[in-house]
Each structure stands twice: as C-alpha cells, then as structure tokens.
C-alpha cells in the first residue's frame, strides 16, 4: 500500500495511506490515551480522550482514533492545549462516574483509573448531579451497573457487530443516555446469549460476571460438603495473566496447586469430559453419516452458541449434536459415577467449575441440567477471573507455586481435550478419533492445521476412509451467522460444523482475564497447542480413564445410559415475548 509521511511531535513516520492519526502516533512510539477505541474496529470518536492538534486545522482538536492521517500532516500531542482538553474531558467523564473504586471489581485494572492517573487528575472541577443508576442483576451470567458506565460503547460494538446479537445499545439521549437492552429492559428479559464479550470489552466496571465466589467459599467452609472443581481447557493458558505473567504462560499445574490451597477437596479437569464428548459426539456423527441423519451436524459445547441458535436459528436445532457440553457431562458424572465410586451421597457433593466463560453460569442453571432429582449437576461456575480472585483472597502466591497434578480419575485427559480451548480444537479432536474409528488405522500426523488459527471461518476436506468429510469451523457469532445462513439457504454441503461463540474460541471467552486482544488470543492459542504437543496421549479414545468409564459405568458410546446422562435437547426461543408458537409467528 501507498505510504504517507506524518510528523508527530517532531518525529517523522511513514505509515500506510489509510492510517489514522492514532496509528501514526503508535508507529512513532507516542502514547495517546484512548477509551472508546478498540483496535480492529471502526473508530467511534465518542470518548474524546485521544485529542490531538492538527496543524492548519480549524481550531478544534481532533480525535486521533478517527481522524485520517494525510501526507505531510503535522500533529502535536504534547501541548498545553491538548493536556487541558484531555484533562477536562476526563474530569467530565468522572463527574458522571460513581467513584467507589475500592469496591469495584475492576480496580487496578480499570482503563479510566489508569488514564486519570496518567493525565494527573487530582481534583474534579465539574462535579454535579449523577445520572440515575440502573443496576441490573437479573441475568444469571452478567451484571450491568450504569453508574460505572462511561458510554464508550465498546460493548455495543462487540454485541452488534462481533456477535450480531444486538442486545445492547444506547437508549435515551444526552445526560440520560444508558447502554441497555431495548426499552431499558433487564438483561434477563432481553435477547442476550450471555457470552460476556461485552464484559471483556468494558474498560471500567459497568459490566461484570454474576459473582459465584461467595457461594463457593460457603461450600468450602461447610464440613458436610465434598467440594470438587473442574477446570476448562482455556483457563490454564490464561489465568497466569491475572497474576502478572505474560499472555500464553502455561500454568496448568500451578493452577491445580492454587486450587488445592483455596480448599477444594478434589481438583479435576474438564478435559476429562472433553475427551468423553469426542467419543459421544464422534459416534453420534458417524451414526448420522451412515444412517442418513440430519447433516451438517453442529457442535454443542459452547453455551453462548446454544443460546444463539435457540434464538436466531431454531430451525437448525435438529442439526445440533445432542451432546451436553464437557462442563455438564462432568457435572452429570460427578453426581452419579463419581459419587458411586467414592461412596458419597450426591447431595453432599458440591460441584464447581472454572470456566473462561460467562454463559456457562447460565448453562449450569438450565432446568434440564439435573441428572439427580433436586440437584444441579454443576453448583457454581467461576470465571477465570473469579478463580484468580479466590486464590488472591486465600493468600496464594501463584507465581511461586509448585507444580501439582490433577486428581484421578476425573483429572486424566489427552491433548485432544486441551485443544477444545481454541477455535477448531473440537473439530481436530473429533477428526483424530473419527479417523481411527472409521479406518481402524493409526493416525500418524494428528495435527489438522487447516482448522487452526484465528480466522473467523475455516473449512477443510478430510479423507476418512471412503468418506470425503467436509468440515467447517467458525468462532464469533457473526461468523457463525454466515455459516448458518448458508446452511439455511441449502448452500452448504458440510458434514460437520464446529461453532464457538467467542472470537478465537474459549481462550477468548467472556470470563477470561481482561484485556483480551488478538495478540493475547494468539499467545493463548500457542500455549494451547503447546500443551497438546506436550501430552503423552493426544487422542481422546486412547484416554485410559475414559475407557474405564465406559467399561465400569456407561457401556459404550451413545448407550442408553450415556444418552440419559450425557445428552440433552434444546428448545426454540422467541426473539420477542409472545404466547404465539414460533411456527405461527414465522408463517405470518
């Protein structure tokens, strides 16, 4: 691309023609504070923090995030006028921001706090009446607190354009503006898939997960409870960030040690049931393929995706695998297989999961997720951030923890399971198993590179015996929508599609450490594949604990018992409150 020359604070840089002034400043190594800006997204220019002076401009300062750089442009960022303006804008922002910073879940990881410090704000000239506060705790997954909101609209951008769900947008105007669902409904009444990408995008504490920490502390403190914990694949490559380690640090065994110190009786691995998912889902797929079942089959591990398809593509629910997610398979086994094996009354077992996800909180609360009458399969769901917080509260010195292994048997897993944490991982793990089941031959190269990477939609054709299996993988719901539209139009001849709700897969989930950027996603992804490489067993069907589970308890994949415990069905949801059945609405 054509290059242009821009001078910023006397430093000349050459940048591509379509750069903004902010891009050019970054290239020149000059820091400009930003709040509403998200790299890779259309600039909004709403917060007005990134102001700069453009020589020859008409007097007003310009928002560097949205102002195009032009050849020969001279920009100043370090002037008294710029300092004063930025400071005044942040003071105005703070004048409508409830500053109970110590009680805020984002304190010390708050972009507004950091900018206020950086700009040297010591007083606020513009204090006055605060906007009316809306605190919405209706959702099982996400809490909204408008008193913290700075109306940067980053959540709106991800909700509308990355996830194409459109739950959140600006309602009312001027000083009364709030970011809310339509007609200022509560989240629980709105169409929200609970993915938590809004939480990830929030620079302040206006959006955060529903707290499950207290109930877990209560359970741990209860001598009658046997408290077990499962950890999702993507947590182990991200939780280190909460303790200052660089993104992509592999801290699986420190995490296990940390959770033991928190006080869990057993530390197990969701990877165990990820392997189990492959067995169940793989056989379901082969069954559909050979017996004329509904294709393409869609994966069902990601609860945000499940919510999405229930709302937006209910016609495609028959395509969805009937397998529960690994979290819920684990929960079901914890209160049956594990209870039996340990000789513990299921009602005494308190089952906790640590997930990179906010939608998992909603999933655990679904009515159908109860295999023992009156008990939830999963009692509490902690995000990666909450798990780290519990460790902090417990006084754990995470960085200096020793390495410890998971408990057996529900802690034994394979490389195929850990890659569930990255987009394409479920597909790759399934192919590793399906190939060997169908051909009876050993798969030498287990790496299916075509389904790896951060690209939104990936496809591949894999020869499995006589079958040319056509597969597709999407992460981020806008990408899922593209594939589903093709399926709806009958233009997709895929056999098997993996969908992950969040961009990059679970490693970029709404429960992961903040921030999550593409750079961070890449680092976490590398760590996931390194974990896979480092494990002795890399195919789910070779997991000895899974073999034992079938021998001792389930029989065979897709057996009657397996169906009862590990499979479920999902139901269409209306996009608007209505008593009219969906079919009727659509026919009108």
Partner 1 sequence: MAFYRAHILVDSGTAAVLKGANAVRNTLIEEIKSRGLDKEIKVVETGALGLAGAVPAIVVYPEGVTYANVTVEDVPEIVEEHLLKGRRVQRLVYKDDTPAVVKAAGSARSAEMRVVLKNIGVIDPTSIDEYIAMSGYEALAKALTAMTPEDVIAEMKASGLNGRGGAGFPTGLKWEFTAKADGDIKYIVCNADEGEPGNFKDRLIMEGDPHQIIEGMVIAAYATGAQKGFIYIRGEYQQSVANTERAIDVAREMGLLGCDIMGSGLNFDIEVFKGAGAYICGEETALLASIEGFRGESRVKPPYPPTHGLFGKPTVINNVETLANVPHIIVNGAQWYSEIGTARSKGTKIFSPCGDVQYPGVYEVPFGSTLREVIFGMAGGIKSGKKFKAVLMGGPSGVLVGEDALDRRLCSEDLNPGAGALIVLDETKCVVDLIRNCAQFFLHESCGQCTPCREGTKRMVELFDWWAAGSGSEQDLMLADQLATTMALTSRCGLGQFAGVAFKSSISLFEDEYLAHLADKSCPAGVCDMDKVEEEVRA
Give the residues lining the site for partner 1 (CB under 8 A): 43-49, 51, 59-61, 63, 66-68, 81, 84-85, 88-89, 92-93, 95-96, 125-126, 128-129, 150-151, 153, 169-170, 172-177
Whole-number CA gyration radius for the chain: 25
**Shortest separation between residue 55's beta carbon and partner 1, angstroms:** 15
- Report in angstroms how near the CB of residue 157 gets to partner 1 at its nearest: 13
- Compute the least distance from the CB of residue 45 to partner 1, in Å: 5
Q: Classify each residue of 542-573 as buried b or exposed e, where b means 16 or more C-beta atoms within 10 Å of its C-beta.
A: bbebbeebbeebbeebbbeebeebbbbebeee
- The nearest distance, CB 102 to partner 1, in angstroms, is 23
Q: Are the C-beta atoms of residues 398 and 262 closer than 8 Å to each other?
A: no
Task: Give whichever of 172 and 556 is closer to partner 1, judged by the CB atom.
Answer: 172
Q: Is 260 helix (H, G, I), strand (E, B) or coil?
A: helix
**Residue 368 annotated as catalytic:** yes
Q: Which of 148, 266, 360, 361 is catalytic?
A: 360
Q: Whose Cβ is closer to partner 1: residue 6's or residue 382's?
A: 6
The active-site residue, picked from 157, 363, 386, 436, is 363
Q: Please tell me which residue in 127, 368, 449, 533 is annotated as part of the active site.
A: 368
360 is catalytic: yes
348 is catalytic: no
| Contact in structure between 64 and 51 (CB atoms under 8 Å) | yes
* Catalytic residue list contains 202: no
Active-site residue identified among 53, 157, 209, 281: 281
Q: Are 546 and 283 in contact (CB under 8 A)?
A: no
- Phi, psi (deg, nearest 5) at residue 183: 55, 30
Instruction: Tell me if residue 363 is catalytic.
Output: yes
β partners of residue 13: 6
Q: Is the distance from CB of 321 to CB of 297 less than 8 angstroms? A: yes
- Closer to partner 1 by Cβ: residue 43 or 511: 43
DSSP summary character for residue 577:
-
Helical H runs in 421-502?
425-439, 477-488
Residues 420 and 274 sit within 8 Å (Cβ to Cβ): yes
Residue 117 vs 125, nearer CB to partner 1? 125
Residue 61 or residue 141: which is nearer to partner 1 going by CB? 61
Q: What is each CA distance from 226 to 212, 366, 537, in whole angstroms? A: 17, 23, 30
Q: Which long-range contacts (CB under 8 A, 24 or more apart) does 53-61 make?
A: 53/77, 53/79, 53/81, 53/82, 54/21, 61/85
**Rounded Cα gap, residues 427 and 198, in angstroms:** 27
Our CB check for partner 1 shows the closer of 66 and 559 to be 66
Of residues 53, 242, 284, 498, which has the active-site annotation? 284
281 is catalytic: yes
**310 part of the active site:** no
In the bound state with partner 1, the residue whose beta carbon lies nearer, of 68 and 263, is 68
Whether omega for the bond prior to residue 228 falls within 30 degrees of 0, making it cis, is no
188 Cα distance to chain centroid: 19
Torsion over CA of 205, 208, 212 and 213, rounded to 10 degrees?
Answer: -30
Min separation Cβ 20 and partner 1, Å: 10
Q: How far apart are CA 71 and CA 5, in angstroms?
A: 5
Q: How far is the CB of 113 from partner 1 (least distance, A)?
A: 16
Catalytic residue among 64, 302, 321, 376: 321
Closest CA to 288 of 497, 555, 505, 539: 497
Q: Which of 50, 155, 198, 506 is catalytic?
A: 506
Supply the minimum distance, in Å, between the C-beta of residue 124 and partner 1.
Answer: 10
Active site residues: 281, 284, 301, 321, 360, 363, 368, 506
């Amino acid at each position: 691309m054509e290059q242009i020359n821009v001078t910023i604070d006397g430093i000349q840089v050459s940048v591509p023609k379509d750069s903004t002034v902010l891009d050019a400043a970054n290239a020149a190594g000059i820091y400009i504070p930003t709040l509403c800006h998200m790299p890779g997204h259309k600039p909004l220019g709403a917060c007005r923090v990134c102001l700069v002076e453009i020589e020859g401009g008409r007097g007003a300062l310009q928002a560097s995030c949205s102002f195009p750089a032009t050849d020969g442009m001279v920009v100043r960022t370090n002037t008294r006028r710029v300092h004063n303006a930025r400071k005044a804008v942040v003071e105005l922002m703070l004048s409508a921001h409830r500053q109970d910073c110590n009680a805020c879940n984002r304190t010390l990881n708050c972009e507004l706090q950091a900018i206020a410090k950086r700009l040297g704000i010591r007083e606020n000239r513009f204090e006055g009446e605060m906007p009316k506060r809306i605190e919405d705790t209706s959702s099982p997954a996400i809490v909204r607190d408008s008193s913290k909101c700075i109306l940067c609209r980053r959540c709106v951008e991800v909700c509308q354009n990355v996830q194409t769900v459109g739950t959140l947008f600006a309602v009312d105007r001027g000083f009364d503006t709030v970011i809310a669902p339509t007609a200022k409904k509560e989240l629980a009444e709105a169409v929200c898939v609970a993915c938590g990408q809004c939480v990830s995008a929030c620079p302040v504490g206006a959006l955060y997960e529903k707290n499950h920490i207290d109930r877990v502390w209560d359970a741990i403190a209860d001598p009658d409870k046997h408290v077990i914990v499962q950890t999702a694949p993507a947590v182990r490559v991200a939780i280190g960030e909460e303790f200052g380690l660089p993104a992509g640090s592999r801290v699986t065994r420190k995490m296990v040690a940390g959770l033991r110190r928190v006080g869990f009786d057993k530390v197990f691995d969701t990877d165990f049931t990820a392997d189990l998912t492959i067995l169940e889902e793989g056989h379901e797929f082969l069954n559909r393929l050979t017996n004329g079942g509904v294709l393409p089959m869609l994966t069902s591990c990601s609860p945000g995706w499940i919510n999405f398809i229930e709302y937006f593509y209910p016609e495609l629910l028959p395509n969805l695998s009937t397998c529960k997610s690994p979290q819920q398979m684990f929960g079901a086994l914890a209160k049956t297989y594990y209870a039996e094996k340990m000789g513990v009354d299921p009602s005494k077992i308190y089952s906790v999961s640590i997930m990179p996800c906010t939608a998992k909180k909603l999933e655990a609360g679904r009515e159908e997720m109860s295999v023992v009458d009156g008990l939830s399969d999963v009692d509490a769901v902690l995000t990666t951030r909450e798990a780290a917080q519990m460790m902090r509260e417990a006084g754990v010195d995470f960085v200096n923890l020793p390495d410890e292994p998971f408990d057996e048997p529900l802690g034994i897993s394979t490389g195929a399971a850990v890659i569930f944490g990255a987009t394409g991982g479920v597909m790759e793990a399934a192919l590793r198993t399906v190939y060997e089941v169908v051909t009876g031959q050993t798969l030498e190269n287990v790496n299916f590179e075509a389904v790896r990477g951060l690209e939104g939609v990936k496809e591949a054709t894999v020869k499995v015996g006589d079958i040319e299996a056509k597969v597709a993988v999407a992460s981020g719901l806008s990408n899922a929508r593209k594939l589903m539209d093709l399926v709806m139009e009958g233009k997709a001849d895929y056999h098997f599609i993996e969908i992950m709700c969040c961009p990059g897969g679970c490693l970029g989930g709404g429960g992961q450490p903040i921030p999550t950027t593409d750079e961070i996603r890449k680092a976490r992804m590398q760590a996931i594949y390194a974990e896979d490489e480092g494990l002795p067993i890399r195919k789910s069907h070779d997991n000895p604990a899974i073999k034992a589970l079938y021998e001792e308890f389930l029989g065979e994949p897709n057996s009657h018992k397996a169906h009862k415990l590990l499979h479920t069905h999902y139901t269409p949801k209306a996009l608007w409150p209505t008593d009219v059945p969906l079919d009727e609405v659509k026919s009108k």
